[in-house]
Homo-oligomer: A and B are copies of this chain.
Amino acid sequence: MSTVKLAVIGGDGIGPEVTAEALKVLEVAAPAGVTFEQTTYDLGAERYLATGEVLPDTVLEEIRGHDAILLGAVGGKPNDPNLPPGILERGLLLRLRFELDHYVNLRPSKIYPGAVSPLANPGDVDFVVVREGTEGPYTGNGGALRVGTPAEIATEVSVNTAYGVERVVRDAFARAQRRPRKKLTLVHKTNVLVHAGAVWWRLTQQVAAEFPEVSVDYMHVDAAMIFLTTDPARFDVIVTDNLFGDIVTDLAAAITGGIGLAASGNVNPDRTAPSMFEPVHGSAPDIAGQQKADPTAAILSVALLLDHLGHPDAAGAVEAAAIADLADRTPAAPRRTAEVGDAIASRLG
């Protein structure tokens, strides 16, 4: 018998609804003898608007004591004047990623049955983006002078350390090694960002020597835009920096049939802190509380969570159930959020 301490952050908008379905599925999917003990944390736009708190240090420390985190979505109404831009992103989402050292931001891209790709001929798409999660232009480094005047200057500093790059590159190689095609593509912009590019390039070459079976490819981020839309099937594992990863993974989600199905893991591979799993989509406040949201991305995030916790069979079963459900859908008859969760859970039951 083992107990997994799970921190649950439903968040805002449709976040709590989709998270409820993810938990429903987790319950039936849990391997025999494994119990998930949940603690729910009320964080997000609503809490901020009510209390001014984004992520109190005491809450962060409590969350740190868990084995994993399941997050729904955070974010208030667009352009709410009471929500300063970036406050939840920087203060909650990114703070969790940075404080819990989620240096591997994992985003698989597959075309699931029934999903409609906007591409005419997407081919057989099955790749995973390993996005660096704790450095790059996301550190908040930089600042501004003479703000609000015609003489203003604002900078953003992308920070790239050998320490930070090597560990994420090694993780990406290890994932490529475990996949049938064993192919890794580094995406960067080494011809312009020469300082950062040199570190990424050098460490990719260096770590490649430890994985002789993995074939290595390089692509500028602008060229990656072209190949992702014209030949996405060529990719297997993509490794890239935090900002390029943000951009590439949304394109990847779009070409595979939508952000509504994209799951992600914010992973600390060294397990020095809990990893966090979340759908890529946002809080969609316009449809919140109406049972209209599709919980599939949240449920697929549970599969990533189970895999990370060392239960690949349970993870595979959740993914297979979600896929079977997708294959069975009739677009003309949309189901309620809870109906989708029930349907997937009952396939596992």
Contacts and interface: CB of A to CB of B under 8 A. Distances in A.
Given A153-B162, A154-B199, 6 more contacts: A85-B191, A86-B191, A137-B156, A137-B192, A142-B158, A229-B255
A162 B151 contact: yes
Interface centre among A156, A229, A246, A249 (most CB of B within 10 A): A156
Interface centre among A162, A198, A246 (most CB of B within 10 A): A162
B137 A158 contact: yes
A332 interface: no
Interface in A34-85: 85
Tell me how many chains of this kind the complex includes. Answer: 2
A153 B161 contact: yes
A248 B154 CA distance: 22
A82 B83 CA distance: 53
Interface centre among A152, A160, A254 (most CB of B within 10 A): A152
Contact of A89 (B162, B191, B201, B221): B191
A343 to B, nearest CB: 26
Contact of A230 (B89, B189, B254): B254
A150 interface: yes
Nearest to A202: B148
A325 interface: no
Contacts of A333: none
Contacts of A140: 194
